Structure 1
Amino acid sequence: MSISLLIVSLPFEPVVFGVKLNMHLILEYLAFFVGFRYYVFLRKKSTDVISSNNRLSIIIGAVFGALFLSRLVAFFENPVAHIQEGWLYNLNNKTIMGGLFGGLLGVELVKKIIGEKHSSGDLFTLPIILGIIIGRVGCFLAGIKEFTFGKETTFFTGIDLGDGLLRHPIALYEVVFLIILFVIIRRLQKSKIEHRNGDFFKLFMVSYFSLRFCIEFLKPNSFYCLGISSIQILCLICFVYYYKFILRGITYVRKKLYVL
């Protein structure tokens, strides 16, 4: 039996009091709200080595960096089509991948300006993951109205996302992956494993960008550069950015395997 027979039809747009609800937009706003409240909760429970003023500056840098690069990367997913759609469409079009890496660059720029030396990412890691999970549920409910759907498939996970075809539910793949990653990072934070400040955020970025690099092969992309999509190019840039962390992780794993 196909999974598509076990769920409501997509896109899911319930009508409440005569108003059709855009569940994707609702969950997108909910993701920001819940993610920020979770961050505030974690900050109150932890000893933050970064002052409140510097932390606020870092958040502002992250927001503006994310706003800019999320739209720039989305534009390069298919620049020809986006030019034809006009500037208003481009302002509304965005991608979480550009937002994450743009936020990272925005934070690093602000830290250099204000002279902040401490790593700031670990406190944001779990709230970001939680926010993406909520947002991806919204993407799934939007069906083929959001470009988070996959190619046609005969695999058992195939779901009718609204066009009568069984497709890879990429948004759900991400949700499952991120839930597992959330649990792993949460347990690592509670453990006494040796780590440096910022390692958990780096682990999230490298893990999530690795997933997205692979998942892009399951998407019906129509625009490629050097045989890969703009998202995959951004993933490679992220790997280069974090190459020291990746090499350190490989060395750590090899030592553990050698001991075993």
Structure 2
Amino acid sequence: MTLLSVNLNKIAVLRNSRGGNEPDVLRAARTCIEAGCGGITVHPRPDLRHIRPDDVYALAERLPADIEFNIEGNPFAPPRGPYPGLLALCRAARPAQVTLVPDNDDQLTSDHGFDLQRDANRLRPLVEEFARLGCRVSLFVDAGTRELEPAARIGAQRIEIYTGPYAHAYAQGQPDAALAACVETARRARAQGLGVNAGHDLSQSNLGALHRAIPWLAEVSIGHALICEALYEGLAPTVRNYLKILSA
């Protein structure tokens, strides 16, 4: 079954907007786990806009051993203030998976994947460093990416398909071309021996079609839509709704 990893960034956004510790990131993680999710995702950024390094350390100490901890981030972003850099965070937290994403402070959210033809050689030593920590390495790529041999060659074990354009097309009632691009990239990744994750703007409305088209998805990482839906339905019921979609 495809693993559901819940991204807790939006919980931290709400907490940081007021200060203090509410809503509690750790309590939110426990609630999602008790509802049945198999993983917790965080994406700390150098500007500390949501998940902070202290959240990463606390989650690393408290997550059950059978729950996958996935840390996303830009491996090229240098340390800044309390942010020690992605490699240092992973050295301390030892997540099961690290997802490398080419984002920066100017982006409201991740909005594109790596150009593997251009970035592979620069990524290689970092992929090797993360692997030495025992982390599975996943690379964020655009749907429609055809040349995935570089990802396998530098030692990545998975890709994560950026599904933002698919979600937008689905909302517009014209998902076919965007979905086909996701499927094509997933097929090419599988041919290279790479596992396939997916994430960004996935929701209860659009996840089922993606999962039916790519039934071998290893993992989906869902945060913004899940937390928005949880405002109306409750966090635990929302997590269970996603699990029903993935088990169908």
Query: TM-score by structure 2 length?
Result: 0.26
Normalised by the length of structure 1, the TM-score is 0.25
Computing the radius of gyration over CA atoms, which structure comes out larger, 1 or 2?
1
Which structure has the highest strand share of the two? 2
Higher helix share: 1
